[in-house]
Amino acid sequence: MVLTAILATGCTERPAAPVAYREPFRLQYHFSPEKNWMNDPNGLVYHDGEYHLFYQHNPYGDRWGHMSWGHAVSPDLMHWEHLPVALEEEDGIMIFSGSAVVDTRNTSGFGTADQPPMVAIYTGHTDTLQTQHIAYSVDRGRTWTKYAGNPVIDLGLKDFRDPKVFWHDESGQWIMVVSVPAEHNVHFYGSPDLKEWTFLSAFGPEGASDSIWECPDLFPLPIEGRDGATRWVLIVNIGSNAAAGGSGGQYFVGSFDGKTFTNDNPPEQVLWVDHGADFYAGVTWGDIPESDGRRILIGWFNNWQYAQDIPTSPWRSAQSVPRALALRETPQGLRLVQHPVREVESLRETPQTFAGLDFAAADALGLKGNQFELNAEIALNGADRVEIAVLARGAEQTVVGYDASEGVVFIDRTASGIGDFHDAFLARHTAPLAAPDGIVRLRLLVDWSSVELFAGDGLVALSDRVFPDPESQSIRFSHAGGSPVLTSLAIWPLKSTWGRPSL
């Protein structure tokens, strides 16, 4: 298994600075900036063989401020190349969240038919006003020009932000979905050229609406097992009172006709994208080739409750592992399904695999690691609770498991390590999950200071940051009641994506 990094030391008088991307708590296969603050993913677009990831960034410090768009590109969603800041705070206007598109038809006139422009659509922020702006690039996103006619939408509102834009073939126009946070709704606008926008409709408040609405996204998704069938999904993130407390994301399933989104479910029903504490501002990539066919989501791996105080340096915050999405028919209706993108499997090293182990035998294996994937199928056999503790040593551990008496899957980080930076951090987070056949399937991604759990073949996701002692690397197995069996267990060490060898 992958062992914890040993930080280089210099002379005996004082230790040298940690090596970049080997600092304490630095995630090894998740995106994080080299230094300073990061929050929402922005401008996700695929163009000319590259996945672009822009993100909210403070170039000058490791706390929120001076919002600009940081920028990185990747050929495979795993290995990222840092690029210079793309859109900088300027003239008293911060660059808040937004999206980017490849204008293949050159509707904007910023490029040519042979060299279509990339166009970024973002919120310009001041203390008293938020408006929608655009900028363009004709060199694969390496340099950007802000449109001279900005702003392209100005409602005179203090809170009006986070535009997500896409081309809608059926209505032959660009569609923007943008949040009006204080009113707990989103607006839809249409445009022929990304410059002139017409109001189409509004949606909300529905679902979770007792906190601000931010960072919307709208896209069609295929329904598993129904060839060609799709429904539309609207993601809306909320600033507090989410599934695990603090910030989080909800989604709606319904229809979109080029003007209006209609929710399939009762307006009071709440569906959570992720039931952990640390998944916010989730947004999907645009312009992924039809030959690929995936809708890929990524989220900010943090929570506004404590984001500015997590114990990392010289950077603060990371992004989740990208996830491929679909819809699944359940007795309760259509529900979102999430799986880590297949590119994660390219990081796998030689696995350890087992079958038919009871929990005592599994615990006796003495498995260790802090950078791995674990897949387990568990036959409950009357167990009230089954648990897999990771990043463990002594009393310190992060516990993942299934509680049959409650009918929930959970991550318990109450003893996970450092957590005194916020009184809500050390907590247990749950998600409902049925096990009618007495079988529970868990897929777990662990990375130095994070745990991402996908259960029920992707039907449930929980994402939590944790900050354990670097020596806490044991993997433990325990249960209460019954005679549970690990019918299958596979553990893969995962390679670092930052060019750092495993130690």
What tens digit of pLDDT does each residue of 253-312 get? 999 999 999 999 999 999 999 999 999 999 999 999 999 999 999 999 999 999 999 999
What's residue 19's pLDDT?
A: 79
What's residue 500's pLDDT?
A: 54
- For the chain, list residues with pLDDT below 70: 1-18, 500-503
Q: Measured in Å, how far apart are the chain's first and last C-alpha atoms?
A: 9
Rounded to whole angstroms, how far apart are CA atoms 372 and 193? Answer: 46
The β-bridge partners of 121 are 99, 134
Residue type (1 letter), 391: L
Give 48's DSSP letter.
T
What's residue 2's pLDDT?
A: 36
Q: Is 40 a catalytic residue?
A: yes
Rounded to whole angstroms, how far apart are CA atoms 395 and 53? Answer: 38
**pTM of the predicted protein model:** 0.95
Beta strands in 370-473 (DSSP E): 371-379, 385-393, 396-403, 408-415, 428-432, 439-447, 450-455, 460-465
Which is catalytic among the residues 40, 363, 447, 464? 40
Rounded to whole angstroms, how far apart are CA atoms 404 and 469? Answer: 31
What's residue 499's pLDDT?
A: 75
